[in-house]
Amino acid sequence: MKTRENPSEEKKYNKWIVLLSVVIPIVVAVLFSVKIPNVEPLTFLPMVYASVNAVTAIVLMSALLAIKNNKRRLHENLMKTAIGLSVAFLVMYIAYHMTSDSTKFGGEGLIKYIYYFILITHILLSIIVIPFVLITYVRAITNNFERHKKIARITFPIWLYVAISGVVVYVMISPYYPY
């Protein structure tokens, strides 16, 4: 049974893709500056959301293997899981920063430049990947698989880098947490 592409159905999602791609980074930036008074800092969250990033990377790699082995249903379920994990990460990240002060990186010399390079590329690519993930997902759910594959080749390495670099950033800054 051949599925039919539906470009007009894909177009109806474009406004949502643009809206979410703009609103999510703005909301995160605004909430990042909001501190909830008289609340115990959620100091356990950085390790948890770094672990979520690690699991996301594993799920993304597993999804790639699944589709390469023609296990489409497994691929679909793994990709939905990766999206869910990314949303969970975002919620925990915001919760942590609304209850805790940012930690300054304490390393010096070359390692400091490496850390900031990884951190800045992680942050920028985490913003850039949002529309890519949404477009890739919409192309899949609207059965536009040829266009889905084309953009997935761009989305996958960016998303994987964001997941892995999130873990690296945590490992590099964790010795400097004040808790």
Dump the DSSP string for 55-84.
Answer: HHHHHHHHHHHHHHTT-HHHHHHHHHHHHH
Q: What percent of the chain has pLDDT over 70?
A: 96
Mean pLDDT value across residues 101-112:
93
Amino acid at 4: R
Question: In this predicted structure, which of 12-16, 65-69, 120-124, 126-130 has the lowest mean pLDDT?
Answer: 12-16
- With 90 as the cut, is the pLDDT of residue 52 above it? yes
Provide the whole-model pTM.
0.91
Candidates 169, 161, 51; CA nearest to 111 is 169
Distance CA 58, CA 19 (A): 29
Report all structural domains of the chain as residue ranges with CATH numbers, in order of start: 42-176 (1.20.120.80)
Contact 43, 177 (CB under 8 A): yes
